[in-house]
Structures are given as structure tokens and as C-alpha cells.
């Protein structure tokens, strides 16, 4: 079995507390095969890549480099987060493209390639993660690396018509052809990639689902919807449902039902629209007042970016306005919390909540939706209200699917969820859990690596799971 080399913007070092998600999936794969995890240390140094920091634990090596302030500001805070992030989330109006930022992005990818190339063995299999490192395979190929290299995009991929609005888009996106396999969350993302390569770059489709780029290189793309460690999340929710923090939350509700949202504070999550939809529920349904509370947990992120500071101000103002309009001395409609909580506490909170409200305007997958389902009590499960524009909607068709831009649609779904019979709630939960038990984080990881290391397989093998049927 070949050694696995994982490359990502940040590295989950062994002494850091990491629960669930990508960190667990990558560490499990590395433990199975032995290998290396490489990325940025998170620290600022005088010169990017001047020193390699290495830690080894059992059969895994962790290698990180520092970035200079200039490279951090141009590569990470600049091009990755102010150009690619909004572009990939269909917010072309927020794209802040600067030529020096894009140059910094390519420069840091070259620094990554210089350092990784020195650490590689001829039989290594390389797995690159996310939009920060799109041109990395091309940089490695330029340095003579011939290993099999895969790439997984954790965000959505926008339609080709939006991709071409980025200056020098060909220089960036054509570099994806240097990978052997490109993994995406949904069939919609795959169509975007194929459309871009075929109609903007003059590529051609070949047998086996392969794409021949204009430079003659062949690569493949496939759908691999990421998931959660379902069994672990179920157990976590069961263990924490009666702990002190969860019990205090349940007691504070005083018999009322809870709607919960948990999101990083980001304009892609649709939080202002979510607040407005909840206000619409209260406005149109007097019987819902004093019956339900909405807990929104939104830890801040990227506070140096003006758009993120603005959305925090908007949400604080919105929550205050709604509470001022509808609150009673013994009841507050919205509980808005700007801090993060450990996964075990969130699992207990999810189990308490009658409704999980997950309404991003765009999201690659959204694992909160899957975690909410896995945390429910099978005897008395809650209901997931889910945006059609989250990748999770392609699998969780048993949720109440909504358009987050339609406030009435979301408000009506909330009312339906709160009034839903136990029989229907169980039916929907059973259908969703069947998907999560079939397609967990291990299956996602193994499906991608098998497709990367066995290129002769049919194109149909590059789809790790089929979309779930929708329950009307």
C-alpha cells in the first residue's frame, strides 16, 4: 500500500484537539496507510517556507511551514478569501480581485510545491484539499513530480458563466487538469466543471468519464459527497443529552420548543434571511409566540474582512429588533450567541431542538445538517429544514427543503416542522439516517482514494452515492 500525502492550507497537528470532520477523516486515512500531512503552520515568519517544522506520531509525519506577512495577506486573506470564496459561493458582487493578491496566491502554491517535492517518495499518493491550493498539482508537475495527485473541493463550484468573470480564470482553473482526479460534492458542481472545460477551454470528453484538456492532459472528475462519522455522532449525542449544559438549556426552555441554527458567521450562510423568516413565522402565527425559541450559534470568523464585520452588526441589530417587537418578560424569541462550543455540547443541543434550521444561500455540503439528523432521538426525532442550495440537500431529500431567499417558504416550513406528527417525523428521520449510515465519512474517504489509485474503473464508479428521494 502506497504512502498517503495530504496537503491542505492548515494541518491538524496531533496535540491539537480535533473532533469530527476533515481532520478525523485525514488522520484515519494516514493511520491506515502511513504518510505525511503538509500545510501552513498558522504562524507568520520573516520568509515563507524558510524552515520546515516536523512532528512525527506513530506512522504519521506532520510538516508545516510559516508564511511571511506579505504572503499571508495576499494568498490567504487576499485572493483565497476575498476573491475565490465569494466567487465560489455565487457572490460575484463581493469578489475583490487584485493582481498582486493573485500573484501571491500562485507564489505560495509554488512555495508549498518546493517544500513538498523534497519530502515525496516515488510511490506516494497525494491528496490536495480545497480552493487554497488549486494550482498546486501544476506546480508539482513543473518540479518533476509524477505521482498520482487528487484534489477535493470543499466549496461549491459555480456555473461556468460565473467562473469566467474572474480575471485570468484560464490560468487558474485550467491547472485543475494537472490532477489525476478532481472530487466535487454534487452533480451540479460536476456539470459546472465539465461545462467550463468543454465550452471555455476547448476540452473534450473521452471514454470512462475522462476529460482531455486543451494541452492534451487527461484527468477525471467525480462526485464524492463528504459526510460525518455517523456512528460517533450518534453516540456523542446519546452520551451528552443529560449533561449539565444540555440540561440547563432544556430547563431554560420551560417546556417550549427549540429551533436551532449553528453556523460560522459568514455571508454565505443566509443568517439575515433566516432571522427575517423566523420573524415572519411569529408575525403570521400568533400561536407560535411564546411556544418556540430560536437559538442561533454563530462564532465569528475572518473578522479582518469588512463584509464579516458588517454581517455581525446586521445580525445583532436584527436580533434586537425582533426581540424588541415580540419578546415578553418571560420569553425571548431569538437567542443569538457569538461564540463556539465543543462538538459534544452541540450534539446535546441538537438533540434538544425540535427543528434544525440550515439555510445557507450556497454551501458545498454543510455537515451541520447531517449532524443534526444523527443527533436526534429515534423515538422522538426533530425535523430538518434545509436550503435547496446546500450540497446536503442532494442526499437529504427527506428534509423540508426550502429556498432561503423566500421568507414565506422558510416560515411555512418552520410551522410545518413544529406541527408535524410523530409518525411523519419518524418517517423522515428514518429516510435521512439510512443515507447517513450508508454514506459516512469513511465511505467518502475510501471512495475518493480508490478512484484516485485505480484509474481504470468506469466513470460510474466515481459517484460515491446517489441522491436521496424527496419526501413530499
Integer Cα distance of 91 and 267 in angstroms: 9
What is the Cα 272 distance to its own chain's centre?
20
How far from the centroid of its chain's Cα atoms is residue 446's Cα? 18
3-state helix, strand, coil in the chain (%, to 5): 50, 20, 30
In this structure, what C-alpha cell is assigned to residue 125?
499518493
Please identify which of the residues 89, 132, 154, 185 carries the catalytic annotation.
Answer: 154
| Full strand arrangement of the beta sheet holding 292-297 | 334-337, 292-297, 257-262, 355-358, 383-387, 400-402
Catalytic site residue 154?
A: yes
d(CA 101, CA 90): 20
Q: What does the alpha-carbon distance between residue 209 and residue 259 come to, in Å, rounded to a whole number? A: 43
Q: Is 438 part of the annotated catalytic residue set? A: no
**Of the residues 189, 363, 409, 440, which is catalytic?**
363
Q: Are 329 and 290 in contact (CB under 8 A)?
A: no
The CB-based long-range contact list for 415-419 (8 Å cut-off, 24+ gap) reads 415/281, 415/285, 415/288, 417/354, 417/355, 417/382, 417/383, 417/385, 418/257, 418/259, 418/288, 418/291, 418/292, 418/354, 418/355
Residues annotated as catalytic are 154, 363
Amino acid at each position: 500500500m502506497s504512502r498517503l500525502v495530504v496537503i491542505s492550507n492548515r494541518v491538524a497537528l496531533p496535540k491539537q484537539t480535533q473532533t469530527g470532520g476533515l481532520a478525523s477523516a485525514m488522520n484515519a486515512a494516514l493511520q491506515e496507510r502511513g504518510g505525511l500531512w503538509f500545510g501552513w503552520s498558522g504562524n507568520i515568519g520573516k520568509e515563507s517556507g524558510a524552515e520546515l517544522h516536523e512532528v512525527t506520531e506513530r506512522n504519521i509525519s506532520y510538516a508545516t511551514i510559516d508564511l511571511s506577512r506579505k504572503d499571508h495577506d495576499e494568498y490567504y486573506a487576499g485572493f483565497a478569501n476575498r476573491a475565490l470564496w465569494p466567487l465560489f459561493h455565487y457572490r460575484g458582487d463581493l469578489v475583490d480581485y487584485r493582481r498582486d493578491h493573485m500573484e501571491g496566491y500562485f507564489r505560495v502554491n509554488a512555495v508549498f510545491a518546493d517544500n513538498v517535492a523534497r519530502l515525496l517518495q516515488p510511490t506516494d499518493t497525494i491528496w490536495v484539499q480545497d480552493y487554497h491550493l488549486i494550482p498546486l498539482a501544476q506546480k508539482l508537475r513543473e518540479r518533476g513530480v509524477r505521482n498520482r495527485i487528487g484534489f477535493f473541493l470543499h466549496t461549491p463550484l459555480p456555473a461556468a458563466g460565473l467562473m469566467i468573470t474572474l480575471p485570468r480564470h484560464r490560468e487558474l482553473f485550467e491547472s485543475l487538469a494537472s490532477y489525476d482526479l478532481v472530487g466535487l460534492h454534487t452533480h451540479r458542481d460536476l456539470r459546472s466543471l465539465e461545462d467550463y472545460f468543454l465550452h471555455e477551454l476547448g476540452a473534450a470528453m473521452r471514454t470512462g468519464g475522462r476529460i482531455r484538456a486543451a494541452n492534451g492532459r487527461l484527468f477525471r472528475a467525480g462526485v464524492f459527497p463528504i459526510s460525518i462519522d455517523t456512528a460517533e455522532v450518534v453516540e456523542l449525542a446519546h452520551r451528552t443529552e443529560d449533561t449539565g449544559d444540555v440540561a440547563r438549556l432544556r430547563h431554560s426552555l420551560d417546556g417550549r420548543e427549540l429551533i436551532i441554527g449553528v453556523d460560522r458567521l459568514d455571508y454565505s450562510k443566509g443568517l439575515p434571511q433566516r432571522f427575517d423568516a423566523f420573524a415572519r413565522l411569529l408575525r403570521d402565527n400568533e400561536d407560535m409566540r411564546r411556544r418556540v425559541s430560536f437559538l442561533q450559534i454563530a462564532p465569528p470568523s475572518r473578522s479582518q474582512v469588512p463584509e464579516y464585520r458588517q454581517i455581525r452588526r446586521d445580525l445583532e441589530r436584527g436580533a434586537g429588533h425582533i426581540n424588541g417587537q415580540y419578546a415578553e418578560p418571560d420569553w425571548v424569541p431569538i437567542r443569538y450567541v457569538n461564540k463556539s462550543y465543543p462538538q459534544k455540547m452541540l450534539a446535546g443541543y441538537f438533540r434538544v431542538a425540535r427543528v434544525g434550521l440550515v439555510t445557507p444561500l450556497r454551501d458545498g455540503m454543510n455537515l451541520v445538517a447531517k449532524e443534526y439528523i444523527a443527533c436526534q432521538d429515534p423515538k422522538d426525532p426533530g425535523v430538518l429544514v434545509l436550503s435547496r442550495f446546500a450540497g446536503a440537500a442532494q442526499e437529504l431529500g427527506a428534509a423540508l427543503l426550502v429556498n432561503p431567499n423566500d421568507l414565506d417558504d422558510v416560515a411555512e416550513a418552520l410551522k410545518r416542522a413544529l406541527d408535524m406528527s410523530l409518525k411523519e417525523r419518524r418517517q423522515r428521520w428514518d429516510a435521512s439516517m439510512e443515507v447517513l449510515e450508508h454514506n459516512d465519512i469513511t465511505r467518502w474517504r475510501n471512495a475518493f482514494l480508490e478512484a484516485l489509485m485505480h484509474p481504470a474503473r468506469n466513470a460510474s464508479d466515481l459517484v460515491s452515492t446517489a441522491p436521496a428521494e424527496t419526501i413530499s
